């Protein structure tokens, strides 16, 4: 595991960080958050879904996240090519990765099974099955 011990300063004023962090928390915890179905009761996750337009086929599914909110131990980005909305595939994958990293395993076996067994690409390179 990489340990970061060098402080990097940004030109962005720190008073903007709180609102960004709260907004990223709402992605999981908000009533209308795009990753609310992948919320973990015991870990406050922060994230942002994204859908990347692709002129050559289906859009790409994107999600960035970190956890826990108060003292992050993991930060990641997940991109699933040609898979549609960020909340469809990238967000659940990221949430499972956070859970496995933080807890050493997952209790959401049905979600894990769905992710592990899905065939996202057909021979033409487009999504074969959408998340339910």
For residue 34, is pLDDT > 70? Answer: yes
Segment 60-78 shows an average pLDDT of 96
Mean pLDDT for the chain? Answer: 90
Domain residue extents for the chain: 16-117
pLDDT value at 75 more than 70: yes
User: Residue 124 and residue 41: Cα distance in Å, rounded?
Assistant: 39
- Per DSSP, the residues of 50-119 read EEE--TTSSPEEEEEEEE-SSS--EEEEEEETT--STTTTHHHHHHHHHHHHHHSS-S-HHHHHHHHH--
The top-level CATH class assigned to 16-117 is alpha beta
The helix (H) or strand (E) run that includes residue 48 is strand 46-52
Percentage of residues of the chain with pLDDT beyond 70: 90
Q: What are phi and psi of 61, to 5 degrees?
A: -90, 125
Give the confidence band of 5 by pLDDT, cuts at 50, 70, 90. Answer: confident
> Is residue 131 very low, low, confident or very high in pLDDT (cuts 50, 70, 90)?
very low
């Amino acid at each position: 595991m990489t340990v970061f011990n060098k402080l990097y300063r940004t030109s962005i004023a720190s008073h903007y960080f709180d609102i960004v962090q709260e907004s990223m928390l709402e992605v999981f915890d908000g009533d209308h958050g795009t990753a609310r179905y992948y919320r973990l009761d015991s870990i406050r996750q922060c994230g942002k879904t994204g859908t990347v337009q692709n002129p050559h086929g289906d859009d790409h599914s994107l999600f960035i996240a970190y956890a826990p909110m108060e003292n992050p131990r993991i930060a990641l980005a997940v991109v699933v090519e040609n898979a549609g909305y960020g909340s469809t595939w990238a967000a659940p994958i990221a949430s499972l990765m956070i859970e496995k990293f933080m807890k050493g395993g997952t209790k959401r076996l049905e979600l894990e099974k769905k992710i592990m067994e899905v065939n996202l690409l057909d021979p033409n390179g487009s999504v074969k099955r959408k998340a339910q």
